[in-house]
Amino acid sequence: MSAVIFHVLTLFPEMVIQGLSPSVIGRAWEKKVISLDAVDIRDYTTDRHRKVDDYPYGGGAGMLMQAQPVYDAHRAVTGGKKIRTIYVTPQGTPFTQAKAQELAAEDELVFLCGHYEGIDERVLEEIVTDYISIGDYVLTGGELPAMVMIDAIARLIPGVLGNDFSAEEESFYNDLLEYPQYSRPEEWHGKKVPQVLLSGNHQKVTQWRLEQARQRTAERRPDLYEKYQEKQLLIRKLARHKRNNIHLVESLTRGCAEVLYSDIMLAGHSAEEHTAAEIYSAEGKRIAAESVLLYDRSCKTCMALAADMASGEAIAERLPADTELIIVSEPYLKELLKQRGYKVLGSYIQVLYTRKEALPVKHREICRLTMEHYPYVCRWYCNDGKCGPGIDDAYVRERIQAGAMYGAFIEGSQVGFVGIHSEGSLGMLFVEESFRGQGIASSLEAYAVNRMLEKGWTPYGHISAGNTASVKLQEKLGFYRAEKNYWWLEKTLANSTLIC
Ligand code: 9D3
Q: Quick: pLDDT tens for 178-191.
A: 999 999 999 999 99
Q: Is the distance from the beta carbon of residue 121 to the nearest atom of ligand 1 less than 6 Å?
A: no
Q: Is the distance from the beta carbon of residue 89 to the nearest atom of ligand 1 less than 6 Å?
A: yes
Residue bearing the CA closest to ligand 1, atom 6: 117
Residue bearing the CA closest to ligand 1, atom 7: 117
| pLDDT exceeds 50 at position 499 | no
pLDDT at 281: 52
- Model confidence pLDDT, tens digit, residues 108-146: 999 999 988 999 999 999 999 999 999 999 999 999 999
Ligand 1: nearest atom to the Cα of 95: 23
Q: Is the distance from the beta carbon of residue 439 to the nearest atom of ligand 1 less than 6 Å?
A: no
Look at 19-33, 75-89, 375-389, 438-452 and tell me which has the smallest mean pLDDT: 375-389
Residue bearing the CA closest to ligand 1, atom 4: 117
What's the rounded Cα separation, in Å, for the pair 400 and 370?
A: 6
DSSP class of residue 461?
E
- Mapping DSSP onto H, E and C, the string for 22-80 reads CCHHHHHHHCCCCEEEEEEHHHHCCCCCCCCEECCCCCCCCCEECHHHHHHHHHHHHCC
Q: Is the distance from the beta carbon of residue 135 to the nearest atom of ligand 1 less than 6 Å?
A: yes
Ligand 1: nearest atom to the Cα of 145: 25
CA end-to-end distance (rounded Å), the chain? 18
Torsion of CA 425, 487, 303, 310, to 10 degrees: -160
Ligand 1: nearest atom to the Cα of 139: 20
Q: Is the distance from the beta carbon of residue 11 to the nearest atom of ligand 1 less than 6 Å?
A: no
Give me the percent of the chain exceeding a pLDDT of 70: 89
Ligand 1: nearest atom to the Cα of 61: 5
Residue bearing the CA closest to ligand 1, atom 18: 90
pLDDT at 238: 92
Instruction: Compute CA distances 285 → 272, 280, 282, 484, whole Å.
Output: 20, 5, 7, 11
Mutate to test the pocket of ligand 1, among 124, 138, 143 (most ligand atoms within 8 A of CB): 138
pLDDT tier at 407, thresholds 50, 70, 90 = very high
Comparison of pLDDT for 387 and 471, the residue scoring more: 471
* Mean of pLDDT over the chain: 89
Q: Strands (DSSP E) along 69-226, which ranges?
A: 85-94, 108-113, 130-133, 187-188, 191-192
Q: Is the distance from the beta carbon of residue 126 to the nearest atom of ligand 1 less than 6 Å?
A: no
Q: What is the mean pLDDT of residues 249-254?
A: 92
pLDDT at 274: 39
Whole-structure pTM value: 0.79
Rg, Å, the chain Cα set: 26
Q: Determine the distance separating the centroid of ligand 1 and the alpha carbon of 143, expressed in angstroms.
A: 10
Q: Determine the distance separating the centroid of ligand 1 and the alpha carbon of 11, expressed in angstroms.
A: 15
What's the rounded Cα separation, in Å, for the pair 148 and 96?
A: 11
Q: Is the distance from the beta carbon of residue 147 to the nearest atom of ligand 1 less than 6 Å?
A: no
Identify the CA nearest to 54 among candidates 9, 116, 140.
116
Q: Is the distance from the beta carbon of residue 57 to the nearest atom of ligand 1 less than 6 Å?
A: no
| pLDDT exceeds 90 at position 249 | yes
Name all domains of the chain by residue range, CATH numbers in brackets.
Answer: 4-154 (3.40.1280.10), 173-220 (1.10.1270.20), 239-335 (no CATH), 366-490 (3.40.630.30)
Do the strands 460-464 and 301-305 form a parallel or antiparallel pair, or are they unpaired? unpaired
Q: Determine the distance separating the centroid of ligand 1 and the alpha carbon of 14, expressed in angstroms.
A: 20
DSSP class of residue 425?
-
Q: Determine the distance separating the centroid of ligand 1 and the alpha carbon of 97, expressed in angstroms.
A: 21
pLDDT at 70: 98
Q: What is the mean pLDDT of residues 370-385?
A: 86
Name residues whose C-beta falls within 8 Å of residue 358's C-beta, 6 or more positions apart in sequence.
449, 450, 453
pLDDT at 256: 87
What's the rounded Cα separation, in Å, for the pair 224 and 217?
A: 7
Name residues whose C-beta falls within 8 Å of residue 453's C-beta, 6 or more positions apart in sequence.
356, 358, 459
pLDDT at 271: 41
Comparison of pLDDT for 410 and 255, the residue scoring more: 410
